[in-house]
Structure 1
């Protein structure tokens, strides 16, 4: 073994061999993390400056919608032209879209700029995930994902503080302005260091019908979510339309040459189980976590700032577990870590539900959400590592994009169902859900005692739903664990980290 091979076999993600791509990848993640965590706090300031309050939710929604569509479109693009070329175009796109958002003179143009920015954001996330699978050997991928999670966790704590400072000194536009040097830094770091599977780019073939159906699926889903608790019949129509678009997309994927997402990238073992466990564990954790600030601000009488920080305990638990998994996978199988996280989620949800129902001390409830985040960290990080170990370089973009899309849809529906349950309980108990919507919209309102009790009970029932999702995740994780139990542990060596005689995963 020569010196280069020894370095590849023993170096970590911060070693000279991998340091450039590590810095590039983490800077890419920082772009998406800062945008997602900083802008929510600035929405009231944007509304005060630009008006157009009716369009304010679309500042976030437009980004999420185009990001979801772009994320799944990224797979064929990356596999055709490579990570490096995709990132160069994406970084430049995101740079100009951020500048357009910073300069937007009215709410309509800001929403349009955010839609353009979402295209870049969706591609950026897919580039970051795929780069891990192509740039690092298998033994380092979990550590790379852990580093990505640490960036999210750090910005989770620092993002609101940075946002508050920017709003106080320079206004909401500075949130977009500050993204310009971050994006430029990411471009400089990744321009030549990110991996590429294509010395010569191939022709990008896009499934137009598949794209149209995905757009319909996302639009119908967002419409259904927007009508939850407002107009239930329309919410049902939106959900039915989303299901119809989803079925049509699945049919199209089986009949079209070069589909946007091939069925084998969803159903092939172990990809199917990885997609399922990741989607369900995110539903279990985030369905309740998104409404924890509402509970803290109303039932527990805490300030809006305190309530906003309550969501960080799940994020910190997620980041902590991701770091731990990156070490455990030196001796464990990925399926062992996935199973552990799935088991851990069940007592954590029960702990949170009992704590909310019995009004336990707030730190105890935060502890439950920290453990819920840790469960997500185990399942998500180990699942991504196994996903990339099960994919060939030539399909890495499409496999990662499919997984990211499933996670996004899982989160969207989880949060929507959680909100529907909470609003249903409150509406059933007091006959009015306007207080809940006002608080969620940032209004300073005083709720009556019965309303506070109804919000508490609503969150308890959301946690019951989380428990059902956690049980589904555990069932899928057990099936995955059983089907891989008899396979030998991979032997880490130079190259891709798997010995030549290790058996491939098969059903």
Structure 2
């Protein structure tokens, strides 16, 4: 028993390292993005650095979850870490925004395997009674590691250079890789089952098209153009064909019977909206703090760090609360915290300063920690081993789709507002959305001139205010969905 316990501990440590990769990814890149854009150019492509990563993540997370149920967790997990690290190396060496975005596509592919399989392995090696506590640890490690993300992001940007935010992934990823290779042993069911390649293809087509529509709509592609109309038709057709296909196939990519379990259905729908909230905070808060409040990258990192502090503390508490009061009350508390955080953001203005922004981040982190831990434990307790991988992946898929849609939709709102402000101001034609790059560094900000600085900062402020009003609406919707979770498990 002692040997088994020790092996479980080493596997858990490796899983935690892989979650650390995801945590660093979420916060360190956000903090560094203003500097990356200032260096590589292309402010209009800002949201694509997040959207590209989320696109391939969302498009493949179900496929990898399914593959792990068929071939076992280990090979899929190792493949995911390897891809993630290859993407990180290309990101660090990227000479332009387009190469960076392509590298983020590769990283997202790896993350599509990494995140759900890590959580599923923990569901496999620990008993039903142990899962609440361990998932709490897992979420808290995700958060505790994220505390270092913004601080390191700010440090690398201010003292070294932005490529270090990607080089950091390499030693951590290799440690996690070797840990799983040497310490994780699993018995895979020999039952023959097929993999739904067609379903995966329809997910890729539909998600990709929807994201391009949301990011480029009204900015790169006119809403009333034939290109846009045809893309909307492709997106609707892809979604309909996917759902029809999933109902008919023997081994579907996303088993529709999972949605018949009420706790899973509402956990997944809430994850969609909380994913949008999460990306809205982590993607655009650094741009506001640096571009409008005129603070350093380190200060911008601090405003995100509080979310990373709130998340682990809440996740650890959630593990205990679930055992005492149940999934639903714990998730409801998370929903309340999300509303408080979003309300603070909706009132954010340049005069209120970084501390006010940090307080909003803290409440969002607490809300995410309480709700996400509740959802994962509830879902894994509702299904058997044969469906645990795909059930966990489906929840991750919904949150990732939410983040992808959020990055695209909120990025579109921001770009439109900045573009509108520039057009209405009467500034020379040389000014565009990409001129907002200049706000992100002190030296380029000082070269803008008073009028241009005022116009661009006003455009960024009004755009981000709309983004944060959107977050409040999403937080209220999340709370109403949480209230639909049954008081007892199905």
Tell me the TM-score normalised to structure 1 length: 0.79
Which of 1 and 2 has higher RCO (CA within 8 Å, sep 6+)? 2
Matched, 1:250 2:247: no
> Which residue of the partner structure matches residue 463 of structure 1?
468
Shift in Å at residue 331 of structure 1? 0.6
> CA–CA distance in 2 between the matches of 1:261 and 1:417?
25
State whether residues 317 and 377 of structure 1, in contact with CA within 8 Å, keep that contact through their aligned partners in structure 2. yes
Shift in Å at residue 102 of structure 1? 6.4
**Alignment map for 1:23-422 (pairs within 5 Å):** 23-39=13-29, 61-94=51-84, 114-162=104-152, 178-194=168-184, 196=186, 198=188, 200=190, 202-203=191-192, 205-228=194-217, 230=219, 231-233=221-223, 237=229, 238=231, 241-354=234-347, 356=348, 359-422=351-414
Shift in Å at residue 410 of structure 1? 0.7
Alignment deviations for residues 220-278 of structure 1 (CA, whole Å, 9 cap, x no partner): 13312331451441696455543432222112111222121111233432211110122
> CA–CA distance in 2 between the matches of 1:54 and 1:456?
16
> CA–CA distance in 1 between the matches of 2:148 and 2:322?
29
Shift in Å at residue 312 of structure 1? 2.8
> CA–CA distance in 2 between the matches of 1:100 and 1:66?
16
Q: Which SS does the other structure have where 2:484 is aligned?
A: helix
CA separation of 1:64 and 1:432: change in aligned 2, threshold 3 A: farther
State whether residues 349 and 463 of structure 1, in contact with CA within 8 Å, keep that contact through their aligned partners in structure 2. yes
> CA–CA distance in 1 between the matches of 2:416 and 2:100?
33
Q: Which SS does the other structure have where 1:302 is aligned?
A: coil
CA separation of 1:92 and 1:322: change in aligned 2, threshold 3 A: same
State whether residues 94 and 117 of structure 1, in contact with CA within 8 Å, keep that contact through their aligned partners in structure 2. yes
State whether residues 54 and 400 of structure 2, in contact with CA within 8 Å, keep that contact through their aligned partners in structure 1. no
Q: Which SS does the other structure have where 1:259 is aligned?
A: coil
> CA–CA distance in 2 between the matches of 1:41 and 1:365?
14
CA separation of 1:180 and 1:256: change in aligned 2, threshold 3 A: same
CA separation of 1:479 and 1:35: change in aligned 2, threshold 3 A: closer
CA separation of 1:111 and 1:429: change in aligned 2, threshold 3 A: closer
State whether residues 419 and 433 of structure 2, in contact with CA within 8 Å, keep that contact through their aligned partners in structure 1. no
> Which residue of the partner structure matches residue 428 of structure 2?
none
CA separation of 1:402 and 1:432: change in aligned 2, threshold 3 A: farther
Alignment deviations for residues 310-336 of structure 1 (CA, whole Å, 9 cap, x no partner): 233333322221122122223110111
State whether residues 421 and 458 of structure 2, in contact with CA within 8 Å, keep that contact through their aligned partners in structure 1. no
Q: Which SS does the other structure have where 2:255 is aligned?
A: coil
CA separation of 1:264 and 1:427: change in aligned 2, threshold 3 A: same
Bigger mean CA deviation after superposition, 136-145 or 228-237: 228-237
State whether residues 68 and 122 of structure 1, in contact with CA within 8 Å, keep that contact through their aligned partners in structure 2. yes
Shift in Å at residue 19 of structure 1? 1.4
> Which residue of the partner structure matches residue 436 of structure 2?
439
CA separation of 1:464 and 1:77: change in aligned 2, threshold 3 A: same
CA separation of 1:199 and 1:398: change in aligned 2, threshold 3 A: closer
> CA–CA distance in 2 between the matches of 1:196 and 1:249?
32
State whether residues 288 and 459 of structure 1, in contact with CA within 8 Å, keep that contact through their aligned partners in structure 2. no
> CA–CA distance in 1 between the matches of 2:411 and 2:214?
9
Q: Which SS does the other structure have where 1:196 is aligned?
A: coil
Alignment deviations for residues 30-54 of structure 1 (CA, whole Å, 9 cap, x no partner): 2333345445666788889999999
CA separation of 1:368 and 1:63: change in aligned 2, threshold 3 A: closer
Shift in Å at residue 89 of structure 1? 3.9
Aligned pair count reads: 473
Bigger mean CA deviation after superposition, 303-312 or 462-471: 303-312
